[in-house]
Structure formats: structure tokens, C-alpha cells
Amino acid sequence: MENMWYFEKVDKDFIRETKKIGFVSKILICWLLLFSSAGRAATPSIGTWMNLGVQGYEVWRNPQLYVVGAQPLCTQIPGLSPGQSKLCQLYQDHMGFVGRGARQGIAECQWQFRNRRWNCSTVQDSTVFGPILSIGSREAGFAHAIAAAGVVYAVSRACREGQLSSCGCSRASRPKSLNKEWIWGGCGDNVEYGYKFTQGFVDVRERERNYRRGSAEQGRSLMNLHNNEAGRRATIKKTRVTCKCHGVSGSCSLVTCWQQLSSFREIGDYLKDKYDGGTEVKVNRRGRLQVKNPSYAVPTANELVFIDESPDYCIQNTTIGSQGTVGRPCNRTSDGMDGCSLMCCGRGYNTQKTTVKERCKCKFHWCCHVECKTCIRNVELHTCK
């Protein structure tokens, strides 16, 4: 029997999970299905919705820019597909947080890959990452996952803070393991709503397209859907229960608990581990993804998958969007990916001696200032040839 799975089954399984915690956004699912059928004949727009995260500080920082009648109009935002433009019209107050989440995802991608040959660098157009994401590689899988996770994170937090009209605090059910004497009802991050909105907004781009069954284009679309889901699930998996004591003089006579997102760095670390253990897949004639090597286990919905091998990031190649590693800083004493041997791809490295001034030996004086000395040290900087 072939190793294969249906993405429809993944979606249904997780909808059942969200029902258990008391939330399913039926309206958004209906719109998703409507756009999936109505938008199939539409020509996909150039670029990606992640462009919302790099359009400028004010766009993602101020959701008010997306109120009704304000510019930019949803149909004029570069990178949105037809279905996403329609959802933008329906949920205009959400779009600033979509941009914030995309920006957070891009920043986390750049942090996680800061010491790798591909460092998640962006370009000045609506594709965000350039041609590199046109290749179904591990890196493309991670980029889709972390961006989707960022939107779940931003929208979930916005619900809790009362900044969206269609959601509020989390309605998650009380955990069975929670102490019976503790109160469940603090204002938690609404991860259930964030998950469902992100699923509708991000996935509609893939679902509205009509590709030939078993084609490379369909395979890439299924790959994107899988990694989008993995990113959303990573956010939920890292959600924790947080409690706070109340009482006179710290007596903790009353304890209130709620659902809270972890730091986004934890989510990034988790997805980076999934990147390292990503599974190579292919699309078969029946339009399903299956593991390319039959000896490998079928990946779960929490894992990242990829279709194509990663390109050579050592040399600059504008066709695929590789920036190369010439001039990149490296660590001469490291044996890891940040080491000069691996980062410089065997080309060697240049060494430059420089003097660095920095604050040191700082002391706090009552009250209230900090006094520091200036220390000077000589350092060696190593960059790839």
C-alpha cells in the first residue's frame, strides 16, 4: 500500500479538535468554500500575501489604516489573491494584524536562519523572498509555516485585547487537569479564532486555484497547504495555561487561570526543529502527496514537507534568488553552519582586525542612575571570500 494522506482528512481531524475546545467559525468556512469554487478560474496574482508584512511600519503597526473607506483598498494591495481580497473586504479590521503577523514571521525566519547560507533575506517587491519561494524546498516550507503561525499569533492576541469586532477573549474549555479550586475565566488569547481565521485567509489562495490532478503545480499547492497547517498547529501546541494568585499580602487565596500564547521565539524554535526533520514528498497521479522514500514514515500534520531539493545557496544566482555567501560574516572557531568552513563553501575567508568600544563595568547609584566605563577591545572579523 502506498504511503499517502489526504489534506481533507487533516482539516476534518483538526476541526473536530477545535470543536472540543468550543469553537468553529462556520461563517468563515462557508466563505472559504465559496471562494474555493468561485475563484478557480481567476488568474492568481503576482506576489504573496506576506507582502503585508513589509509594506512599511505604519501599515502593520496601525490597523486603523484598513477601516472602511481608507487606503489602500483591499483590491489594490499587492500580493493578495482574489479570494484573499474578498476576505479583506469582509474583515478589514483584521488586515493590520495579518500584516503584523506576517512581519513577525519574517523577522523570526531571519533570526532562525541568521547563521545559515540562506538567511531568509527579503527583496523589494511583492514576492517578499524573491524567486527562492518558487522552489518547493525546505526553506519555502518553513517560510509558509512561520508566516501562518505569525498571523495566528497576531490575530489571537488582538482578540484578547479587544481590537477586533468579531472576537473577544478565548472561549477554550477548562482543562481537566486544572486544580478544581482554581477559577478558569481570565481573559485568554483567542487561539481558536486566530486559527480558523488564518486557515480561511491563508489557505484560500491555494484552494481557489484549479490545477491538473497530479501536476507539479498541484503538488506545490498541497505542500503549501500542509506547511500552512503545520505553522498554525505549532502556535496552538505552544499555547499554555497561565495562572495568577490573588489575595492579601500574597496569600494566594484565589487563583485565576487562562489560556496564553507562548513567546513567538518558542514557536520559531519548534518550527526550526521541524524544518531540520522535514520530509521529502511527491504528488502522485491521483493528486495526493506521498512520501518519496517509502522507507520513511508518513509525516503528521505537525511536520514540514518539501517537494524539491534546496538550491545551491553558496553562489549568487538571481534566477533562483540566491544571494550567495560572499561577504557574509562567519565564525572561525565554529564547526556548525555559522563556521567559516561551511558558510564560505570552502572558498576561504578574509580576516579584518578592528577596535570596538563598548560600555562595561556598569554600576547602579542610588538614586537613580547607572554609571558605566568605556572599554576598548580588539576583535577579528571574518567574512567569506
> Are 275 and 216 in the same domain?
yes
> Are 301 and 350 in the same domain?
no
Contact 311, 305 (CB under 8 A): no
> What confidence tier does 367 reach under pLDDT thresholds 50, 70, 90?
confident
In this structure, the strands spanning 4-5 and 183-184 are unpaired
pLDDT at 46: 63
pLDDT at 102: 95
> Are 67 and 124 in the same domain?
yes
Q: What is the CATH number of the domain that holds 377?
A: 3.30.2460.20
CA–CA separation, 239 and 17 (whole Å) = 15
> Are 310 and 350 in the same domain?
no
Q: Which of 264, 291, 319 is the last residue of a domain?
A: 319
Q: How far is CA 114 from CA 5, 109, 123, 277, in A?
A: 34, 8, 16, 19
> Are 194 and 335 in the same domain?
no
> Are 10 and 28 in the same domain?
yes
Q: How far is CA 167 from CA 154, 162, 217, in A?
A: 13, 8, 36
Question: The whole model's pTM is what?
Answer: 0.83
Please return the burial class of 168, using the count of CB atoms within 10 Å of its CB with bins 0-12, 13-18 and 19+: middle
> What are the pLDDT digits (tens) for 327-353?
999 999 999 999 999 999 999 999 999
Q: Which of 319, 335, 365 is the last residue of a domain?
A: 319
> Are 352 and 304 in the same domain?
no
Number of domains in the chain: 2
> Are 257 and 357 in the same domain?
no
> Are 288 and 341 in the same domain?
no
Lowest mean pLDDT of 30-44, 112-126, 147-161, name the range: 30-44
> What are the pLDDT digits (tens) for 119-154?
999 988 888 998 999 999 999 999 999 999 999 999
> Are 286 and 343 in the same domain?
no
> Are 315 and 332 in the same domain?
no
Domain of 90 in residue numbering reads as 4-319
> Are 275 and 379 in the same domain?
no
**Among the listed residues 87, 223, 243, 73, the one whose alpha carbon sits nearest the alpha carbon of residue 155:** 87
